[in-house]
Amino acid sequence: REGTMLLPNQSSVDSLDRVETVMAHELAHQWFGNLVTAAWWEDILLKEGMASFMENVATDALRPTWGILDQMLLTVQGIMVTDALPSTHPVNQPVAKPSDIGQVFDTITYSKGMSVIRMMSHFLTEDTFRRGLVRYLDQYAYSSATQDDFWAVLTEVAKEDERLPPSITVKDVMDTWTRQSGYPVVTLTRSEDGLTATLTQERFLLSGNTTQDTQNRWWVPLSFTTANATNATTEPALWMKNSDTSIVVESLPVKAAWVLCNLQGTGYFRVNYDEENWAALSDQLLAEHQAIDVATRAQLLDDALSLARGGRLSYETALGLNAYLAAETEYLPWTSAMTALSYLEKMLTRTSSYGNLRRYLLTLLEPLYSNVGFEDDLNDPHLDQHKRSLAVAWSCKLAHKQCVTKAVQHFHSWLNNATEVSPNIKSTVYCTGVAEGGVEAWDGVWERYLETEVAREKLYLLQALGCSKEIWILSRYLDMAFTEGSGIRKQDIKLVFSSVARNDVGRSLAWNFLRSDWSRIVNYYDTFSSAASLLTSATAEFNTRIEKHELEAFVEQNAEALQTSSRAVKIALENTEVNVAWMDNYYQVIKGWLQEK
């Protein structure tokens, strides 16, 4: 669509990243998909997984200052949330009938496919992986290949370059990542003196319940560094086999010095440590965080909060790591931290503790916001623009006084035709302006939506229209989305609906609308699967028993219609269940921690 092809003269860094990587992805299909075609739908990793990986490699080659290869870690962290639900599925899925094909094109195929290929490029090393790709493309040019064909060529090259232990193949390793669901958490527990450590692996689930999956094990490439090491390579120092219940690593420093595993988050797994090692890492971040590289800092923050969410680490330890953020100036760790903390924000938004959480998050963000400022500068380095976009979006969302005042000023001078809003802060300015304004502000933005011919601008405006705090306006907006000739295209309904559902004021409204107008929605869309995709955004923040009950009743009433979208339904049900359990287990813990702070 036009929004991912055409860039206005002034574009946000998000738009630039998106358009360039999509272009590179589609061009990558000339090799992965066209020159060598996947033999069958279950070999889709060779097409979508590879294109999703190569889009980053190609964009980085063209735009070396954009930090695209580092930003891949954010995609990995995002898919690890989806992949930690029981309803997830392997990358490699059997396809027996035409109706199975559509379900193959989901985020697991693209993002997990990309993540496990990224891991492989690190354990084979870039040079060996590149040689393997060239040989694979030469060997299978103008014909088709299976996943096993790909592994066989990579094994040949890996053996020549001595990149794998003698007795194993790439297939041995990669089958554990592509033919079974989920991923492991590796737990590193150090001995009394710290000189050795025992490592174990088991499947990581956000529900914390691993009893159903004692069988799942992986070939895990383990890279290490320590407090006094000078070199830090992502090449594995040793492997954990899928038959190992535990392994021992030796020659570590004394207990007071920290150890780190899975550098730069290149392996598709989480790492947990004993309390002393977490404490040593936390001390290091506070004393001199640059001693740990940027990507590894981002990975530590995401791992800690995710492990706490899954019941494997105390929230006190996980939240304790954030204390160093006042000194953090890099985009990547900030994004990892705020994405992981956004779960707390979503869960607490309707509780009495939200005020304390908001104060805590604003305290964390204040130094970053002061450092980058509200005013955008398109001549700033790419990642600095990303950083400002993040700081401004979060500060205004959390009602930071100066941020809201400035956003409203920018909004009014834009609406009165005086000035353009800089693209990196545009979505925040439009949303805040609509939220703080009444019906005049909403109608003014709607007029601009109808007038503009720039596709990306239309998307910004549609999203902002869902930010109103007036229920009747949001109700009218949902009604318009499903009315022929209203000016909202069918392909944009999902955007409109999710912008209302994401709004704290609109959340219940969107859910009630979905239930009461279900048959109207289905008839308007012509397909159940499009209608079912709205279920995901309507239920994203469900975390009470009554909401769980309402969802189950809705699914039961529409069981037949929802059959073709079994995955979206499963995810909504599981997500709700996980959230309800989280509230039972951790709400009081977080409430107490925030009160103490």
Question: For the segment 516-526, what is each residue's pLDDT rounded down to a tens digit?
Answer: 999 999 889 87
Question: For the segment 409-425, what is each residue's pLDDT rounded down to a tens digit?
Answer: 999 999 997 789 999 99
Whether residue 148 is found in the same domain as residue 187: no
Q: Are strands 220-222 and 224-226 parallel, antiparallel or unpaired?
A: unpaired
User: Residue 97's pLDDT band (boundaries 50, 70, 90)?
Assistant: confident
pLDDT confidence of residue 59: 97
User: Is 496 among the domain residues?
Assistant: yes
Whether residue 155 is found in the same domain as residue 260: no
User: Residue 391's pLDDT band (boundaries 50, 70, 90)?
Assistant: very high
Sign of CA dihedral 396, 398, 400, 405: positive
Question: For the segment 570-589, what is each residue's pLDDT rounded down to a tens digit?
Answer: 889 999 999 999 999 999 99
* Predicted confidence (pLDDT) at residue 353 exceeds the cutoff of 70: yes
* Average pLDDT along the chain: 94
Closest CA to 76 of 306, 368, 390, 371: 306
The C-alpha atoms of residue 502 and residue 506 are separated, in whole angstroms, by 7
User: Residue 371's pLDDT band (boundaries 50, 70, 90)?
Assistant: very high
Whether residue 193 is found in the same domain as residue 102: no
| Distances in whole angstroms, Cα of residue 505 to Cα of each of 293, 466, 474 | 40, 10, 9
Taking each helix axis from N to C terminus, what angle separates 426-436 and 382-397, rounded to the nearest 10 degrees?
Answer: 10
User: Is 478 among the domain residues?
Assistant: no
User: Residue 51's pLDDT band (boundaries 50, 70, 90)?
Assistant: very high
User: Is 116 among the domain residues?
Assistant: yes
SS3 per residue for 396-420: HHCCCHHHHHHHHHHHHHHHCCCCC
Question: For the segment 219-229, what is each residue's pLDDT rounded down to a tens digit?
Answer: 999 999 999 88
User: Is 312 among the domain residues?
Assistant: yes
Whether residue 113 is found in the same domain as residue 221: no
Cα-to-chain-centroid distance, residue 121: 21
Catalytically annotated residue among 2, 26, 288, 440: 26
Contact 220, 186 (CB under 8 A): yes
- Give the CA angle between residues 572, 176, 108 to the nearest 5°: 30
* Predicted confidence (pLDDT) at residue 210 exceeds the cutoff of 70: no
More confident site: 277 or 228: 277
Closest CA to 369 of 403, 345, 338: 403
> Between the CA atoms of 289, 295, 296 and 297, what dihedral angle is there, to the nearest 10 degrees?
40
**Six-digit token string for 399:** 């009602």
Residues making up the chain, counted from first to last: 597
SS3 content of the chain, % helix, strand, coil (to 5): 65, 5, 30
**Extended beta strands in 435-498, E state:** none
SS3 per residue for 315-377: HHHHHHHHHHHHHCCCHHHHHHHHHHHHHHHHHHCCCCCHHHHHHHHHHHHHHHHHHHCCCCC
**Six-digit token string for 583:** 């509230």
Encoded amino acid at 122, one letter: H
Mean pLDDT of 450-477: 95
User: Is 412 among the domain residues?
Assistant: no
Question: What is the rounded radius of gyration, in angstroms, for the C-alpha atoms of the chain?
Answer: 24
Contact 551, 512 (CB under 8 A): no
The C-alpha atoms of residue 546 and residue 548 are separated, in whole angstroms, by 5
CB atoms within 10 A of CB 387: 23
The C-alpha atoms of residue 542 and residue 545 are separated, in whole angstroms, by 9
Whether residue 195 is found in the same domain as residue 147: no
User: Residue 548's pLDDT band (boundaries 50, 70, 90)?
Assistant: very high
Question: For the segment 138-175, what is each residue's pLDDT rounded down to a tens digit?
Answer: 999 999 999 999 999 999 999 999 999 989 999 999 99
Q: What CATH number has the domain bearing residue 246?
A: 2.60.40.1910
Which of 179, 210, 238 is the last residue before a domain boundary?
Answer: 179
The C-alpha atoms of residue 46 and residue 32 are separated, in whole angstroms, by 6
One DSSP character per residue, 548-562 reads HHHHHHHHHHTTTTT
Mean pLDDT of 97-118: 90
Whether residue 150 is found in the same domain as residue 195: no
Q: Please give the DSSP secondary-structure letter assigned to residue 420.
A: P
User: Is 469 among the domain residues?
Assistant: no
Whether residue 212 is found in the same domain as residue 129: no
The C-alpha atoms of residue 131 and residue 116 are separated, in whole angstroms, by 18
Contact 432, 467 (CB under 8 A): yes
Whether residue 147 is found in the same domain as residue 192: no
HSE-CB of 191 using CA atoms within 13 angstroms = 14
Domain of 509, in residue numbers: 485-596
Question: For the segment 495-539, what is each residue's pLDDT rounded down to a tens digit?
Answer: 999 999 999 999 999 999 999 999 999 889 877 667 778 999 999
* Predicted confidence (pLDDT) at residue 214 exceeds the cutoff of 70: no
Whether residue 163 is found in the same domain as residue 73: yes
Contact 176, 219 (CB under 8 A): yes
Whether residue 240 is found in the same domain as residue 312: yes
User: Residue 563's pLDDT band (boundaries 50, 70, 90)?
Assistant: confident
Contact 590, 315 (CB under 8 A): yes
Whether residue 71 is found in the same domain as residue 93: yes
Q: In what order do the strands lie in the sheet with 246-249?
A: 246-249, 197-203, 184-190, 270-273
Which of 309, 326, 343 is the last residue before a domain boundary?
Answer: 326
User: Is 364 among the domain residues?
Assistant: no
**Six-digit token string for 593:** 């921690």
User: Is 392 among the domain residues?
Assistant: no
pLDDT over 70 for what percent of the chain? 98
Which of 294, 311, 326 is the last residue before a domain boundary?
Answer: 326
Q: How many domains does the chain have?
A: 3
Closest CA to 524 of 562, 479, 555: 479
In the residue annotation, 275 being an active-site residue is answered as: no
Whether residue 505 is found in the same domain as residue 547: yes
The C-alpha atoms of residue 339 and residue 420 are separated, in whole angstroms, by 29
